[in-house]
Structure 1
Amino acid sequence: MTAPRLIRPAGRQGPGPIPHGLLESLDLIVARRASGALPGDRRAAGLGSGTELAQLRPYEVGDDVRQIDAAATARTGIPHVRLHVPERTLTTWIALDLSPSMAFGTADRLKSDVAEGVTLTLGRLAIRRAGRVALMTFGAGTPRLHPPRASKPGVVALQRALEEGVAPDGHHEPGALAGALRRIGRVATQPGLVVVISDWRDEDDWTRALGALAQRHSVMAIEVRDPRESAVPAVGRLALVDPETGERVEVDTSRRSVRDRFAQIEADRRARVARELRRLQVEHIALSTEGDWLQALGRRLS
């Protein structure tokens, strides 16, 4: 599949400020949403280096002498070694929608601006506790994987990826979300946190792939909306273009039946997405281009 040339959408505002204090308050909340998967909170298979004691036993030939416990040895008169449970860091996998519809926005910012802010916020939270963050972009050609990275390189990789922009109008790719989720399922071998950021427009057949991820990982679905997508104003005849397909249509918004039908179709679509996510037991957070998306995210996570 040929990847379209990404664009920086007109009207781009950026996500706005991300206060450090609010980031601090979200830190533990996001960690708890990942089934408490802080470094050291998950038991890994076998024994190894770590902070949690697994076993205290007499020394055997071949044991690492650095693991000898002086207190137990002095108390018993027999050399003893301490074995620990190895710690396993948490990897956060972010699946980010770069399809043309993400460049839409009629309120304070574009949907892609909100998605960018959420990606950066969760990426910074992911590395705070020695964790790693990976990014999978979709909707702009073949899904592109930015592999897991820790510390500052992880955030820098996110920032560079976000600077590339979104796909131009008319580059709709059926099944892009499902393809990205399947690829994450293949490369994410250890349980972690998967966050899907999308507007879920014109996306089909993603439920099976998301359900498979939810069986192994903690999954969070963040839907980005714009208020104009749910209601059209009465402003007479309008020429509208579907950013995903490039199809142009003219509608008479002065007719109440047209406005009601428009609102009903959108309400049904959103209800269908919410219903499928609920069935899969995936946490669903809806954010808007109107208002403070970061405050809204914090309220939903708290």
Structure 2
Amino acid sequence: MASPSDTTPQPHRRRAQLAQPAAKQGPGAMPPALLDALAIAVTQRVAGALPGDRRAAGVGAGTELAQIRPYAFGDDVRRIDAATTARTGEPHVRLEVPERTLTTWLALDVSSSMAFGTAARLKADVAEGVMLAIGRLALRHAGRVGIATFGDGDTRVQPPRGSKAGLVALRRTLNAGVARDGVADPHALADALGRVGRVARLPGLVVVVSDFRDQRDWARPLGVLRSRHAVLAVEVHDPREASIPPVGRIAVVDPETGRRVEVDTSRPRVREKFAAIEAERRETLASELRRLRVDHAALSTDEDWLLQLGRRLR
């Protein structure tokens, strides 16, 4: 696995301050039985996209011998096999089969729109639950977890870690919260997918958790990821985003940009137009994911998100 440090020049963006929303409720209970069912569903999805039994391509660091061959100029001297070299009188190198572990990349949207919620919990709470559930499943069988966060300015990528270190990094990321103020960047998702694609060299699982609102040009980098990895797109939404109740004149503030708009919700035409625009946006998203053959799970803040996720994957 190559180092996730990316030297590609990135445009400077203002970094938002992260904080936990005041109305945070948490992801709720995660019964072990549902987590086990989710583990089976995820394994079935991933198995069809990876070569063999989670075996990395080529040779690399491992414990199972692949071959012993004569030393060639440029070989790593640390791979010289002492016993064979002593027996033959010529330097030989030892090559192993890479370990059969799965690396899971979690891309989390931490933009301020994720702090919205009018039902049982916020969108950020649902996203936190998905991250914890998938992260625990990924670490269960000696796997590793890499994390990318976007939506608060520059994309931040953390290298894959296993065991306790991976879980600590995941919890630290979730405890940081979401962006307080609007940092409008319509290419944040595309940038994060591109960064993950450049550092995730070996086939694995990529899970994108976002509300996918006001994001552009993400289809191409997501398609590139899909050509090499198993990809799951988790869309988090709130029922109030699909319709406006007739409560008269209200002031609406876009959390991404801070723009303030006054609308008269008592007018049926306004409500119908809003519902039509939102329905078209979500259908366009679902259609694009189907075209890319990316698994799509839509989770709502007013339902059991873990049960929804398990049913969708199965």
Look up the match of 2:165. Answer: 153
Matched, 1:45 2:58: yes
Q: What's the CA shift string for 1:156-208, capped at 9, x where partnerless?
A: 11111111111123221220000000000110010110010000001001011
C-alpha spacing 1:132/1:49, structure 2 compared with 1 (3 Å): closer
> Which residue type is aligned with residue 44 of structure 1?
A
**How much has 1:2 moved relative to structure 2?**
2.7
C-alpha spacing 1:231/1:47, structure 2 compared with 1 (3 Å): closer
1:235-250 aligned within 5 A: 235-250=247-262
Deviating more after overlay: 99-108 vs 21-30: 21-30
Look up the match of 1:200. Answer: 212
Look up the match of 1:283. Answer: 295
Matched, 1:180 2:186: no
- Matched residues in 2 for 1:169 and 1:196: separation? 22
- Kept in 2, the 8 Å contact 1:100–1:172? The answer is no
> Which residue type is aligned with residue 27 of structure 1?
A
> Which residue type is aligned with residue 172 of structure 1?
A
Gaps of 5+ in 2: 1-12, 68-80, 85-94
Larger Rg over CA atoms: 1
> Which residue type is aligned with residue 155 of structure 1?
L
1:101 is aligned, of 96, 113, 117, to: 113
In structure 2, the residue corresponding to 1:243 is in which secondary structure?
coil
TM value normalised by structure 1:
0.86
C-alpha spacing 1:63/1:209, structure 2 compared with 1 (3 Å): same
> Which residue type is aligned with residue 38 of structure 2?
L
- Kept in 2, the 8 Å contact 1:101–1:243? The answer is yes
C-alpha spacing 1:189/1:48, structure 2 compared with 1 (3 Å): closer
**How much has 1:45 moved relative to structure 2?**
1.9
Residue-pair matches, total: 278
**How much has 1:235 moved relative to structure 2?**
1.0
1:1-302 aligned within 5 A: 1-36=13-48, 37=50, 40-42=53-55, 44-46=57-59, 85-302=97-314
- Kept in 2, the 8 Å contact 1:49–1:86? The answer is yes
- Kept in 2, the 8 Å contact 1:38–1:129? The answer is no
**How much has 1:87 moved relative to structure 2?**
3.3
After superposition, the CA RMSD in angstroms is 2.2
C-alpha spacing 1:102/1:216, structure 2 compared with 1 (3 Å): same
- Matched residues in 2 for 1:149 and 1:49: separation? 17
> Which residue type is aligned with residue 209 of structure 1?
P
TM value normalised by structure 2:
0.83
C-alpha spacing 1:86/1:135, structure 2 compared with 1 (3 Å): closer
**How much has 1:145 moved relative to structure 2?**
1.1
- Kept in 2, the 8 Å contact 1:38–1:90? The answer is no
> Which residue type is aligned with residue 312 of structure 2?
R
- Kept in 2, the 8 Å contact 1:40–1:89? The answer is no
**How much has 1:241 moved relative to structure 2?**
0.6
In structure 2, the residue corresponding to 1:34 is in which secondary structure?
helix
Q: What's the CA shift string for 1:205-242, capped at 9, x where partnerless?
A: 10111111111111110000000000111111111111
Deviating more after overlay: 162-171 vs 244-253: 162-171
Moved beyond 6 Å, runs of 4+: 62-65
- Kept in 2, the 8 Å contact 1:31–1:38? The answer is no
> Which residue type is aligned with residue 10 of structure 1?
A
- Kept in 2, the 8 Å contact 1:39–1:130? The answer is no
In structure 2, the residue corresponding to 1:290 is in which secondary structure?
coil
C-alpha spacing 1:241/1:28, structure 2 compared with 1 (3 Å): same
- Kept in 1, the 8 Å contact 2:144–2:161? The answer is yes
